[in-house]
């Protein structure tokens, strides 16, 4: 599990008595990227909201080797987990750079600027 930044085992999430996510398991390698693909209503947002702690879930959920089960949403954010909602005009008045800096505001100014150069190196079109 050390080589995985995110480890999910048998995650189940519900809204009241309606189970939306059923036994999802996945591992995200350190430095890796994954996508969650599915039809509308398939549970993609519920899965991501569960990881963030916004939806109550059962199963094993670890980030950086630490169990997320007992952590509140704000503690998960402080650990480095964030969720960017897909509302197309959420920050439409900000530049791409300002949106990226805002997404990493918790890191401190120096770290934000260093990360920004990493993002531009990975996604040159954004610069």
What is the full per-residue pLDDT of the chain (127 aa) written as tens digits? 457 899 999 999 999 888 999 999 999 998 888 889 999 889 999 999 999 999 989 999 999 999 998 899 988 988 888 887 666 656 677 787 777 777 666 666 677 677 778 888 888 888 8
| Max Cα distance, the chain (Å) | 46
The alpha carbons of the chain give a radius of gyration, in whole angstroms, of 16
Closest CA to 71 of 83, 56, 84: 56
Q: Left if phi > 0, otherwise alpha if psi is -120 to 50, otherwise beta: which for 53?
A: left
- pTM for the model stands at 0.70
Yes or no: say if 71 and 32 are a contact pair by the CB < 8 Å rule. Answer: no
pLDDT of residue 119: 80
Per-residue pLDDT at 90: 60
For the chain, give every residue range classified as CATH 3.40.50.300.
4-79
Tell the CATH superfamily of the 4-79 domain.
P-loop containing nucleotide triphosphate hydrolases (3.40.50.300)
């Amino acid at each position: 599990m050390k080589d995985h930044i995110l480890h999910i085992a048998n995650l189940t999430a519900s809204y009241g008595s309606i189970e939306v996510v059923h036994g999802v398991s996945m591992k995200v390698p350190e430095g890796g990227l994954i996508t969650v693909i599915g039809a509308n209503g398939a549970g993609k947002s519920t899965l991501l909201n569960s990881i963030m702690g916004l939806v109550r879930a059962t199963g094993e959920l670890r980030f950086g080797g630490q169990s997320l089960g007992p952590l509140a949403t704000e503690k998960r954010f402080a650990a480095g987990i964030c969720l960017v909602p897909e509302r197309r005009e959420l920050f439409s008045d900000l530049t791409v750079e300002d949106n990226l800096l805002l997404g990493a505001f918790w890191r401190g100014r120096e770290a934000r600027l260093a990360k920004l150069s990493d993002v531009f190196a990975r996604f040159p079109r954004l610069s």
